[in-house]
Amino acid sequence: TFDVLIVGGGPAGAAAAVYAARKGVKTGVVAERFGGQVLDTLGIENFISVKQTEGPKMAAALEEHVKAYEVDIMNLQRAEQLVPADADGLITVKLASGAALRSRSVVVATGARWREMNVPGEREYRGRGVAYCPHCDGPLFKGKRVAVIGGGNSGVEAAIDLAGIVAHVTLIEFDGKLRADEVLQRKLRSLPNVRVILSAQTTEVHGESGKVNALSYKDRSSGDQHRIELEGVFVQIGLLPNTDWLRGSVALSGRGEIEVDARGATSLPGVFAAGDATTTPYKQIVIAMGEGSKAALSAFDHLIRSSAP
Ligand code: FAD
């Protein structure tokens, strides 16, 4: 039996593990892939106090920091179900392996994944011109030409954000109209270096010498193919929280994000959540770490307030 069981081994889960272990309580981490999205990241330049680092390096540092404490790390294990606290106040997390872990509190930090376009070139040029996070990678395209795929709020926000950094932005929307809030659309239309293309389906990302150099799309009304020369493609067609396994147990938002309050508490007593899997805005490493630390402190607070010693 654990005092604090953390599900997820990304920045949020690692931070929660360090904070929980430092309270001297029995701490475990279950992770499908320790390191999380950080493992898929090339350069990181916004982890405050570290000017520049690489994802795999940070992932190794996360693991090293957690291993400096007495934490039971169960890597390559997928959680499949969460059962609310029983009469003894114990929460159960069932794993795909068939094992069931019991804990007095749980911190869920299962993160999220970007929805991909699934077109040729997207995977190949990921991190080499294909990007998903304007806050992370926008400055790398200073003075260059980029496309933003997706005309929802995040796509239009990204286009407005990038227009202030890059030379030119082409926003590509599949539908016949943008879905973003009117105030954002108005702001977008006021920008001189943004072009909006509607009813357009991205068909391929092209590159040369390992770098993106163009994008092809199909005009959905005429069927014509077009090619745009550019250096970057920001894909903004959705961030999918890894929370399917919680459906029916923990309250989720319409987008499937775990609803948390300012302390990281979820709808279930003793169950806390942090990072990209939650409703907390702005999905970033520093934010996930802060939220993970907060959730662990809230779990500890729960432990000292519950009756069992
Ligand atoms: P994640 O990192 O997603 O970790 C989730 C963890 O949960 C993983 O260990 C995963 O294996 C595990 N997990 C998921 N489901 C289960 C399950 N059912 N059972 C058990 N374990 C499970 N942010 C920045 O601040 N700066 C950047 O430069 C930056 N660049 C990025 C570049 C890319 C390509 C990507 C994809 C993201 C980038 N981000 C960046 C965003 C940042 O990586 C995330 O905000 C951060 O990793 C979120 O941390 P997290 O711990 O909430 O989730």
Q: What is the ipTM of this complex?
A: 0.99
What's the rounded Cα separation, in Å, for the pair 271 and 105?
6
In DSSP terms, which residues pair with 208 in a beta bridge? Answer: 211
Question: Which residue ranges in the chain fall short of pLDDT 70?
Answer: 307-309
Task: Look at residue 309 in the predicted model and tell me its pLDDT.
Answer: 53
111 CA → ligand 1 middle, Å: 5
* Three-class SS of 166-204: CCEEEEECCCCCCCCCHHHHHHHHCCCCEEEECCEEEEE
190 CA → ligand 1 middle, Å: 34
Establish whether residue 144 lines the binding site of ligand 1, counting it when its CB lies within 6 angstroms of any ligand atom: no
Query: Which ligand 1 atom is the nearest neighbour of the CA of 276?
Result: 52
Establish whether residue 59 lines the binding site of ligand 1, counting it when its CB lies within 6 angstroms of any ligand atom: no
44 is in an annotated binding site: no
Q: Whose CA is nearest to atom 36 of ligand 1?
A: 37
Task: Look at residue 100 in the predicted model and tell me its pLDDT.
Answer: 98
Task: Look at residue 42 in the predicted model and tell me its pLDDT.
Answer: 85
pLDDT in tens, 127-184: 999 999 999 999 999 999 999 999 999 999 999 999 999 999 999 999 999 999 999 9
Establish whether residue 10 lines the binding site of ligand 1, counting it when its CB lies within 6 angstroms of any ligand atom: yes
288 CA → ligand 1 middle, Å: 9
Share of the chain above pLDDT 70, in %: 99
7 is in an annotated binding site: yes
pTM: 0.94
Task: Look at residue 308 in the predicted model and tell me its pLDDT.
Answer: 58
Task: Look at residue 116 in the predicted model and tell me its pLDDT.
Answer: 96
